[in-house]
């Protein structure tokens, strides 16, 4: 019996793969942009738009966790910063001289200086992307320069999340505290944000941003930079020994991941109609990680798939079983951790393809010389060597 040898793909095969991937992306984009608005009612389409916005944040999580090996439990910070930035712009779309209504509840008569730049739409777009990226970069630099990683990095990001959550909760006179900023009745370019045409426009914009984010992540992870990220994940010490300084690479990728979360937060805010400090709730940031884990970390399509499946399942279960749906979510996480550690995409890649090949009589491909894999003497020597290592 002959095994198949896995050979490096030729340039022609790489180009064919890129064309196929591009065709799939274009097909799915057109399906979500054109077909789904025709078959889904307005409410369900808004839900789908929110899920797609969250998928942008999941791509950022996958970039920092799946490819770089850094588990962040504080991405709610950057998500909320993006949401608040856009909400502040929308709240200022008032006649000249007026300020948002909630300020009068706390005796504030003059617009705080922090709000004034958000009169500008250009500055707001800048703030949605750059502010979360800068905050993530600064936090990353403070952590990575001290070579903190692993569980300690996760704890620090979660601690930072709690600090931001408490700070935003206590800022009643500045951002309405726990009540947050509502955007549903505000206007953008003269149109009510919560109206059906505007919501449809934001849905389509979300699709464009999701595709753009995917392509950026694909570009970052497919070249030399992607190899460096994987090297950081798999053996950072050896990478340092090779002459690279992983600190700045980790800072950069964490900043990019934070910027993606900020974009997701802005798009999610305008499609839900409100942003509150609850976006920085610990459970929400952990849920982002669950999306990536379910889909399969280290696979960009898995981050999107996991987000859509988990959020869809959450919606359906909360509607059908409002009292026990959280148990289903916990069970799903346990199943992924114990049975599908590589997620859905990882299972398809590592298990189902081989099973399908076996059904048709094809052997499992090997990444070495088939003759060595089939040689019984070499196999016996390998077993004796492993036993000796175990005894020693």
| 10 part of a folded domain | no
Q: Is 162 in contact with 79 (CB distance < 8 Å)?
A: no
| 356 part of a folded domain | yes
Q: Report residue 1's pLDDT band, with 50, 70 and 90 as the boundaries.
A: very low
| 7 part of a folded domain | no
| 25 part of a folded domain | no
Q: How far apart (Å, rounded) are the C-alpha atoms in residues 72 and 149?
A: 10
Q: Report residue 121's pLDDT band, with 50, 70 and 90 as the boundaries.
A: very high
What does the pLDDT read at residue 358? 59
Q: Is 288 in contact with 154 (CB distance < 8 Å)?
A: no
What does the pLDDT read at residue 174? 92
What does the pLDDT read at residue 72? 92
The percent of residues above 70 in pLDDT, for the chain, comes to 86
What does the pLDDT read at residue 331? 78
Q: Report residue 369's pLDDT band, with 50, 70 and 90 as the boundaries.
A: very low
Mean pLDDT of 295-307: 90
What does the pLDDT read at residue 367? 47
What does the pLDDT read at residue 95? 85
Domain of 120: which CATH number? Answer: 1.10.3470
Better-scored residue on pLDDT, 41 or 380:
41
| 145 part of a folded domain | yes
Q: Report residue 2's pLDDT band, with 50, 70 and 90 as the boundaries.
A: very low
| 386 part of a folded domain | yes
| 140 part of a folded domain | yes
Half-sphere exposure of residue 218: CA atoms within 13 angstroms, side-chain side: 14
Which residue spans within 259-386 are E strands per DSSP? Answer: 274-275
What does the pLDDT read at residue 61? 96
Domain range enclosing 301:
41-390
Burial class, 3, CB count within 10 angstroms (exposed 0-12 / middle 13-18 / buried 19+):
middle
Q: How far apart (Å, rounded) are the C-alpha atoms in residues 53 and 210?
A: 7
| 197 part of a folded domain | yes
pLDDT at 360 over 80: no
Kindly report the pTM of this predicted structure: 0.86
* CB under 8 A, 24+ apart: contacts of 150-154: 153/70, 153/71, 153/72, 154/71, 154/72, 154/73
**What SS3 class is residue 250?**
helix
Q: Report how many domains make up the chain.
A: 1
What does the pLDDT read at residue 374? 52
Query: What pLDDT, in 10s, does the model give residues 178-237?
Result: 999 999 989 898 899 999 999 999 999 999 999 999 999 999 998 888 889 999 998 888
β-pairing, 191-192 vs 187-188, is antiparallel
């Amino acid at each position: 019996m002959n095994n198949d040898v896995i050979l490096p793909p030729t340039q022609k095969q790489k180009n064919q793969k890129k064309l196929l991937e591009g065709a799939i992306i274009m097909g799915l984009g057109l399906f979500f942009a054109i077909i789904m608005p025709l078959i889904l009612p307005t409410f369900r389409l808004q839900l789908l738009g929110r899920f797609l916005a969250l998928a942008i944040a999941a791509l950022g999580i996958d970039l920092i966790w799946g490819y770089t090996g850094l588990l962040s439990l504080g991405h709610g910070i950057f998500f909320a910063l993006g949401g608040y930035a856009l909400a502040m712009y929308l709240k200022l779309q008032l006649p000249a001289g007026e300020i948002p209504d909630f300020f009068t509840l706390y005796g504030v008569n003059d617009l705080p200086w922090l709000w004034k730049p958000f009169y500008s739409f250009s500055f707001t777009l800048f703030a949605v992307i750059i502010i979360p990226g800068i905050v993530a970069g600064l936090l990353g630099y403070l952590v990575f320069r001290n070579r903190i990683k692993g569980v300690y990095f996760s704890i620090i990001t979660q601690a930072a999340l709690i600090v931001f959550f408490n700070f935003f909760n206590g800022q009643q006179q500045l951002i309405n505290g726990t009540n947050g900023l509502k955007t549903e009745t505000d206007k953008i370019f003269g149109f009510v944000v919560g109206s059906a045409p505007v919501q449809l426009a934001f849905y389509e914009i979300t699709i464009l941003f999701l595709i753009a984010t995917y392509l950026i992540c694909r570009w970052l992870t497919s070249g030399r930079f992607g190899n460096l990220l994987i090297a950081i994940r798999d053996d950072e010490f050896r990478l340092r020994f090779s002459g690279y300084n992983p600190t700045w690479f980790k800072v950069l990728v964490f900043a990019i991941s934070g910027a993606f979360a900020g974009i997701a937060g802005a798009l999610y805010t305008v499609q839900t109609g409100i942003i509150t400090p609850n976006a920085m709730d610990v459970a929400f940031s952990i849920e982002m990680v669950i999306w990536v884990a379910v889909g399969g970390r280290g696979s960009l399509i898995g981050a999107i798939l996991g987000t859509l499946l988990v959020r869809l399942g959450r919606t359906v279960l909360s509607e059908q079983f409002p009292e026990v749906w959280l148990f289903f979510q916990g069970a799903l996480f346990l199943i992924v951790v114990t049975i599908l550690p590589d997620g859905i995409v990882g299972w398809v890649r590592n298990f189902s393809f081989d099973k399908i090949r076996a059904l048709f009589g094809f052997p499992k491909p090997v990444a070495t010389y088939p003759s060595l894999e089939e040689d019984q003497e070499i196999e016996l020597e390998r077993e004796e060597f492993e036993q000796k290592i175990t005894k020693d």
